Amino acid sequence: MALIVQKFGGSSVADAEGIRRVARRIAQTKRAGNDVVAIVSAMGDTTDDLIDLANEVTKKPPAREMDILLTAGERISMALLAMAVNDLGIEAHAYTGQQAGLKTDNKYGRASIVGVIPERIVRTIKSGAVAIVAGFQGVNVETNDVTTLGRGGSDTTAVAFAAALNADACEIYTDVDGVFSADPRVVPAARQIKVMTYEETLELAAHGAKVLHLRAVEFARRYKVPLHVRSSFSDKEGTWIVDENSTKINATEAPAVSGVSHDRSQGKVSIVGVSDAPGSASKIFAIVAQADGNIDMIVQNTSLTNPGISNISFTVPSEQVEDVVAALEAHKEDIGFREIQTVKSIGILSIVGEGMRSHTGISARLFDTLAKEGVNIDMISTSEIRISVVVDPERLEEAARAVHSAFGLDSQLGEAVVYGGTGR
């Protein structure tokens, strides 16, 4: 008998019919002789709708109250899903994150998991019932208040329970057939990837491919939980995300580039006229860290015509730009700079592939493709298996399609299927 953790995203449980379809899949897995723990997201766009509602009531919703509001979305879907599974003659019990034993720190809106004590879940499955757990939520160990794990966090709930329960499989059900070489909503010629490593998936997830929550992939890598990302609307084999030594990774040489991702959630802060002396960067980034800014790229250039003066630019999520700038302005005297310029919304295009370790000429091909498209590059950053460029957000999607084509990724099998969801 195997223990299977199945996570169903919002698009899979968008309405009553969706909830019944998911219940049938759980029942089928259970009837095949497995124990099942199901993690469920809020129905459809419920979380976005609740955020909109909060913003209609107040300009700055308090973080603690926001989390109480948002956890309500998953409470609805977990209860309805448990009812639908019971209706198929299989006992199922729904649990909030708190009841299921998911403990977090005190960072409302983006809490980190500090432990999972799944006693109730273990008792439930031992009794022969299915456990349904609300995704994306936990409880602050210090205060007992409910917390949320950040947008898309139900994936992380699923991996955390799969690790804590030592599950045999962790299946992430969504509205596409798996992980594709690009977002199929933007690049219709995207091809489904059969197997990929944790590292490649981390790079894609960290740079805009929202098919998996970044922290879910980090957790899976740390605890070696193989993930199977697949559609809840079809029975097709999805994408396996595994360790680089897994036997699922076949011996043939990896393509230079396996995926393209695009991200329009970041903004850019440029500090102009910083003195080019030891300690400037250290002061700046200590202040950014204090303001909880999540930096991705950093570029510093020193003017040749104006020695002693440099400019530092970095990217942070758009919603953090204001706070980060306010914190830096408050220390203007101490840091010593002329002015700060900001761009609220930039486009970031990334190419990712294990094959980059061994192939050459990848960046030349990327830059050549963008040049032919007339897309200007503003910033560049690289890792061993990724190259990212900042471009005009207006040109981001066409740039993604052109780059996808240029690296020979276009599928010959027709357009990728998107079964549901609004892409919101």
Binding site for ligand ASP (CB under 6 A): 9-10, 41-42, 47, 73, 135-136, 151-154
Number of residues that bind Mg ion (CB under 5 A): 2
Question: Residues 185, 188, 193, 199: what is their CA dihedral angle, to the nearest 10 degrees?
Answer: -50
Of Mg ion, ligand ADP, ligand ASP, none, which one sits near residue 353, judging by CB under 5 to 8 A according to partner kind? none
**Does an H or E element contain 334, and which?**
helix 332-335
Hey, what are 141's tokens?
A: 């160990």
- Smallest distance from the beta carbon of 41 to ligand ASP, in angstroms? 3
Is 386 in contact with 207 (CB distance < 8 Å)? yes
Which entry of Mg ion, ligand ASP, ligand ADP, none binds 136, CB below 5 to 8 A by partner kind? ligand ASP
The answer to the question of residue 10 lying near ligand ADP (CB under 6 A) is: yes
Q: Are strands 339-343 and 35-40 parallel, antiparallel or unpaired?
A: unpaired
142, 106 contact by CB (below 8 A)? yes
Map residues 133-162 to x or -, x wherever contact with Mg ion holds by CB under 5 A: -------------------x----------
175 binds ligand ADP (CB under 6 A): yes
Tell me if 418 contacts ligand ADP by CB under 6 A. Answer: yes
Backbone angles phi, psi at 197, to 5 degrees: -85, 160
421 binds, among ligand ASP, Mg ion, ligand ADP, none (CB under 5 to 8 A by kind): ligand ADP
41 binds ligand ADP (CB under 6 A): yes
Q: How far is the CB of 128 from ligand ASP (least distance, A)?
A: 28
Q: Of 188 and 273, which CB lies nearer to ligand ADP in the complex structure?
A: 188
Q: Taking the complex as a whole, how short is the minimal distance between the CB of residue 158 and Mg ion, in angstroms?
A: 10
Shortest separation between residue 76's beta carbon and ligand ASP, angstroms: 11
Minimal distance, residue 142 CB to ligand ADP, in Å:
29
Q: Phi first, then psi: what are they for 312, rounded to 5°?
A: -120, 125
Nearer to ligand ADP, 271 or 397 (CB): 397
CA dist list (Å): 300 to 54, 198, 344, 412 = 39, 31, 19, 42
Tell whether residue 211 is a contact of ligand ADP (CB under 6 A).
yes
Closest approach, Cβ 155 to Mg ion, in A, equals: 6
Cβ pair 386, 350 in contact under 8 A? yes
Cα separation, 175 vs 184, in Å, equals: 11
Angle (CA) 259 152 109, round 5°: 135
CA distance readout (Å), 213 to 40, 88, 258: 14, 31, 19
Q: Which one, 55 or 303, has the nearer CB to ligand ASP?
A: 55
